Chains A and B, each alone.
Chain A
Amino acid sequence: MARMKFLCDADRCIECNACVTACKNEHDVPWGINRRRVVTIDDGKPGERSISMACMHCTDAPCQAVCPTNAFYTTADGVVLHSKDICIGCGYCFYACPFGAPQYPRVGNFGSRGKMDKCTFCAGGPEADGTLVEYKDYGTNRLAEGKLPLCAEMCSTKSLLAGDGDIIAQIYKERVTKRGYGSGAWGWKTAYRETIAT
């Protein structure tokens, strides 16, 4: 079984935000919710880097641990998903998430955070694969169709990698060896408690 992970090669990301747009379009994500975002560190200074970030589908996921209604589950592929039928919109997963992944519709109107929404690794939700019900709540289920997440698939510089952790780590390692440098797999230590030795 694969262990699905994301890896953003910060030395390649050009902050084009195409991953953000692709995600929004593919899953028909409502206005105000961003399952994926690109953050630029030290913007405008020498050495600035951009990182595309979404849910990292953590090992031993904090959101899953703190959820008061046990709305989360981890699939056999290591993808962290949740049920919007079980979610009550309390906000706990947002406090616990190291990556700011959980999003809520109507944030700010008191007491009425809606059902949480986050990146599904293009793997839908608990409903039957490929159904309209699943699409409405969670977006398309590309994984069930044998495809990888769209954000990584269409990344123009192949900065964003998605797939089995061992394979994308290998690709990244080879890149670093060939070009002679690499700033590491951002978020991996926090999400998976591991780093890629380069």
Chain B
Amino acid sequence: MATLFTRIGSIVGAIMLLVLVAVATPVSAQQPSSVNPTASSVQEDKLLQELRRIQGRITIPDQRASVLEQPAGRDWRQFQQVTLRWIGGISILGILVILILFYTIRGTIKMSRGRSGRTITRFNGLERFMHWLTAATFIILAISGLNFTFGKNLLLPLIGPEAFTGFSQWAKYAHNYLSFPFTLGLVVIFFVWIKENFPGAIDVEWLKQGGGFVGNKRPLARRFNAGQKIVFWVVALGGGAVAISGYLLMFPFYGTGVAGMQTAQVVHGIVGVVLIGIMLAHIYIGTLGMEGAFEAMSTGEVDLNWAEDHHKLWVEEEMKGKAPAGGRTATART
């Protein structure tokens, strides 16, 4: 049996060899002029369809240059020149319009019973320092960041190319270097305030009542109301996103390629302009929009009537916790 199989095997092998030779012969007999080397070669269109970019091998030391083509750069251009400008314009101008309308209708929100003359400590030194560290660097980062997107249309025609380049160069340095104190402030804020910013049932009620912005209700709140909690999480998550995407752009090719940097810039741009819009509203309500609010972040001492208007439960906790014998955390100031 074994020999039979061997024989059949060798016959089949011989037939296959003959077939192969028969197939191969006409090819090798062809004239060189009809050979088409591109039939088997790499094709640009096909490579771009498969991966949307073409990468190969290079012999120069800079291996990052091995990407031959990345047409995705044109999509990024569309985002940078059109999409981001619309998002930025709408988010910043839109918020400004809303704030102006709100101020016209509502005016400054006054304390319901006027000033009491007694104050209570709202933010200690560390809290105010971390707030202003983040706030001051954010304002510079925002202006220098907006300059990248809108500067050449708004500022360049006003001051001319040389002055604009001088400004933009310093804006770039400021943007890069001030990111470090900004991130530091962000991290400290996150850990110091997170325990008072977890959402709860009281926040739902606060939001239902429109936060007291609409009508004359004074919804109850602890140390931070739902609006402030929203600002906290926007700053923590949004700030974290701009920080991470920003560092990816600042250290090119560390952890990302060109495609990664494009994505990082898209995230950085969108989150950046949205944050600027939200911070405009935050600045408004902390200054012009509400009587007695700015003191919380300037001296750290707020009027007791203001505190009872906006953070009644917090005032009660403070009074009870720190001075059970009816003593006063609140100090009289004349």
Contact = CB atoms under 8 A, between A and B. Distances in A.
B24 to A, nearest CB: 16
Q: Determine chain B's interface SS by DSSP, over half rule.
A: helix
Determine which residue in A15, A89, A96, A186 has the highest number of CB atoms from chain B within 10 A of its CB, and name it.
A96
Interface residues of A, number: 58
A88 B169 contact: yes
Interface residues of B, number: 62
Interface string A67-93: 111110000000000000111111110
29 contacts: A11-B38, A11-B41, A32-B61, A37-B58, A37-B65, A40-B57, A41-B47, A41-B55, A46-B40, A51-B56, A65-B77, A65-B81, A68-B148, A70-B161, A86-B162, A88-B169, A91-B249, A91-B261, A92-B148, A95-B73, A96-B73, A96-B74, A98-B74, A100-B70, A108-B251, A180-B34, A181-B38, A186-B69, A189-B45
A89 B172 CA distance: 9
B42 A91 contact: no
Interface stretch (B96-104, B149-157, B187-195): B149-157
A91 B162 CA distance: 19
A53 B253 contact: no
Given A100-B258, A183-B42, A189-B45, 16 more contacts: A32-B62, A34-B60, A34-B65, A39-B65, A69-B156, A70-B152, A85-B165, A87-B165, A94-B252, A96-B76, A98-B72, A98-B74, A100-B67, A107-B252, A110-B250, A111-B173
Interface in A103-147: 107-108, 110-111, 113
Nearest to B41: A47
B228 interface: no
A47 B65 CA distance: 22
B54 A41 contact: yes
Contacts of B66: 39
A182 B70 CA distance: 22
Nearest to B65: A37
A129 to B, nearest CB: 21
A49 B69 CA distance: 14
A184 B44 CA distance: 8
Going nearest first, the 3 A-B pairs with the smallest beta carbon separation are A111-B176, A39-B56, A47-B41
Contacts of B250: 110-111
Given A96-B80, A187-B69, A181 B60 contact: no
B265 A95 contact: yes
Given A88-B169, A95-B258, A42 B69 contact: no
B71 interface: yes
B262 A95 contact: yes
A100 B45 CA distance: 18
Given A100-B65, A108-B251, A66 B57 contact: no
Contacts of A183: 38, 41-44
A194 interface: no
A110 B176 contact: yes
